[in-house]
Amino acid sequence: MPLHSVQHISPTAVLGLWHLTETPADLWAGLPHPEAYQPLLPATADATRQAQWLAGRRLIHRLFEEAATPPPAQATVRNDATGRPWLAGAAPGTVVSLSHSGAWVAAVLAQGGRAGVDVEMIRDKARRLAGKFLAPAEWADAQAATHADPDAGSTHYTLLWSAKESLYKLAAQRGIIFRQQLLLHSFSPRESGEIPATLVLSGAETRHSICYTQPAPGYVLTYCHEPAG
């Protein structure tokens, strides 16, 4: 079943997971008003990228069925100049965040506030690049955690990268330096839980909590939603 799960993560936000098994043609067939999406599909996308892109839009429209306010008939998922998704034709304050990796697509749909979601295939790349996105204290914590459980090395570093991606999407600003402005604090790694974090913007620090889990073997998922007010 392509729609894997829908979860209410706050009174005003829903998280959805899509297990991608369809071809682009299959996904086009179930997409509302495909004529609006035809010119938006990235021209350079191969079949895999097309399927991920289309599944993300299918998932967002499915999440509207769980939201308190139904969408207008012609609501469409678009991307702004920075690549961030937004909902044209939806009610003011509607927030969306999207992510895809391999066979999984994740999305958060919220009425107000801020949201971020990220799904990642577990690879060793995050460990190799740790010095570029982890602050010294974070790197020390990661080394200690993976020393205690060497088999979890790639999973742990991928989780840290994903958590910073979700926080970056929540911040919704360009030019953020991951090592300096997206800071993760110590936590005890489990199959699922929360990572305390600090966001540093314009000299001000705010505290946040990034939820994490493993939706399937070989993947990690992180997300956060903060209601308005």
Same domain, 162 and 107: no
Same domain, 130 and 209: yes
The strand pairing partners of 85, in sequence order, are 79
Query: In which domain, by residue range, is 140 found?
Result: 119-215
Query: What are the pLDDT digits (tens) for 34-93?
Result: 999 999 999 898 999 999 999 999 999 999 887 766 666 778 999 988 888 999 988 888
Same domain, 27 and 96: yes
Structural domains in the chain (count): 2
Question: Contact 84/133 with Cβ under 8 angstroms?
Answer: no
DSSP character string of 164-183:
HHHHHHHHT-SS--HHHHEE
Question: Contact 174/82 with Cβ under 8 angstroms?
Answer: yes
- Assigned domain for 226 exists: no
Same domain, 205 and 164: yes
Last residue of a domain, one of 112, 131, 150: 112
- Assigned domain for 64 exists: yes
- Assigned domain for 23 exists: yes
Query: What are the pLDDT digits (tens) for 150-166?
Result: 778 899 999 999 999 99
- Assigned domain for 223 exists: no
- Assigned domain for 228 exists: no
Same domain, 89 and 123: no
- Assigned domain for 100 exists: yes
